[in-house]
Structure 1
Amino acid sequence: MHDTSSAYGLWGYVLVNAVVFIAFAFSFARPKTPRDWRSFGVFSAFLVALFAEMYGFPLTIYVLSGWLQSRFPGIDWFSHDAGHLLEMIFGWKTNPHFGPFHVLSSVLIGAGFWLTAAAWKTLYAAQRADQLATTGAYAYVRHPQYVGFVLVLLGFLVQWPTLLTLAMFPLLVVMYVRLARSEEREALAQFGETYRAYMARVPAFVPRWAALTGRPAAPA
């Protein structure tokens, strides 16, 4: 049996969770330019919107309540557990925190934060030495921090999908791609052919399977 009691209106939970996750992200993102701040602002708005629906007011449930109640009449859609929409829709009968989508969400969020932290450590060391970061996560993708943030956002979407965050997710992905392109122009200006060779060797966002498995890449 899973909890069917209502757990909304907890705006203190909204505030605490939003502040903790935004502060953690800020410690790695370190926005500098106006574009950086715009991107971080949208990321922060995503988290606020997410936690506002998770603990404050379940807007998505209200909007979809008629359809949900008609398709799945045996579920109390205004209980807190029902906010785990994927578990409910696919018929998970016990505590949704142990459901397959919640487990997948935890893996994505954990992997995203781990990748972001590991990438920041490598980047910080390279910047202090005035060198190009090409080791660690940067040996697999050129923008591991942005990949990490996208994994975190995707993990939250799997755990607690909402209409607003679903609309914001592609916007954030586009902004990260634009940020990455801008940073690459700066890196080309600073490192020239060294960075051009790195671009030819390492993909931007999706690692090559051969690199992940340790096998040599096939000749072009």
Structure 2
Amino acid sequence: MHEDIQAYGLWSLVFLNSAVFIFFAFSFFKPSTTRDWRSFGAYSAFIVALFTEMYGFPLTIYLLSGWLQTRYPQIDWLSHDAGHLLETLIGWRLNPHFGPFHLLSFVFIGGGFMLIAAGWRVLYEAQKKGILATTGVYAWVRHPQYVGFVLVMFGFLLQWPTLLTAVMFPILVVMYWRLARREEQEVLDQHGDAYARYMRDVPGYFPRLIARPA
């Protein structure tokens, strides 16, 4: 495990990375309603908590330090590399940035952002025309943007798991599910049978192997 001159207390990196990923999501999601801002705010809180532990203060490492030091006495737990807990615990001895969990995290994070962006484009065009969004990624799942946020957060959990974000993640998943249910009821009130048929044809969160014809 490589030793770092200064692994934590880098609050400028906390601010910079949080700002980049929050702005990145904002540019794709473009929240406009109260519900949009609520879902975006939950994602932002997760991101700030993540980078605070990644570069600011390693709360998870401190809380688990007794157990970690007993089980893995050869590891410098205050080095930055050790913060990649999944790679460290399975005994990955090379650079953890090229570890299996870190690489897999990029798939989830990148895929999540792509889903958010694709969903917004379809939704924006549908709202301009005053019709339901049922094409593109909306032909596969009814809530691609919520699914995208969950994928991004899960990817970051794989990359840098912490106790706080591990607790936040299922809470935020339930929150997004409840927001989606509320959103569906409002659209049902507005579009009636057309949206009811769409709900029967298209899954909410897990796509079928074959998309519904547009």
TM-score, scaled relative to structure 1: 0.91
1:95-148 Cα deviation digits (max 9, x unpaired): 000000000101100000011101111111111111111111101100000000
4+ residue segments displaced more than 6 Å: none
Comparing 122-131 and 20-29, the one that deviates more: 20-29
Q: Is the 8 A contact 2:31 2:40 kept in 1?
A: no
Percent identity for Structure 1 against Structure 2: 67
Determine whether 1:111 maps to 2:141. no
TM-score, scaled relative to structure 2: 0.94
Q: Hey, what does 1:62 align to over in structure 2?
A: 62
Determine whether 1:32 maps to 2:33. yes
Q: Is the 8 A contact 2:9 2:57 kept in 1?
A: yes
| Cα RMSD after superposing both structures | 1.6
Question: What displacement does 1:41 show?
Answer: 2.5
Give unpaired runs (5+ residues) of structure 1: none
CA distance in 2, matches of 1:25, 1:180: 18
Determine whether 1:127 maps to 2:137. no
CA distance in 1, matches of 2:158, 2:30: 23
Q: Hey, what does 1:88 align to over in structure 2?
A: 88
Give unpaired runs (5+ residues) of structure 2: none
Question: What displacement does 1:29 show?
Answer: 4.8
Q: Hey, what does 2:194 align to over in structure 1?
A: 194
1:136-190 Cα deviation digits (max 9, x unpaired): 1101100000000000000000000001001111111011011111111111112
* Paired positions, count: 211
The amino acid of 1:10's aligned partner reads: L
1:36-87 Cα deviation digits (max 9, x unpaired): 4343322211111100000011110011011011111221111000000000
Determine whether 1:4 maps to 2:3. yes
Q: SS at the partner of 1:209?
A: coil
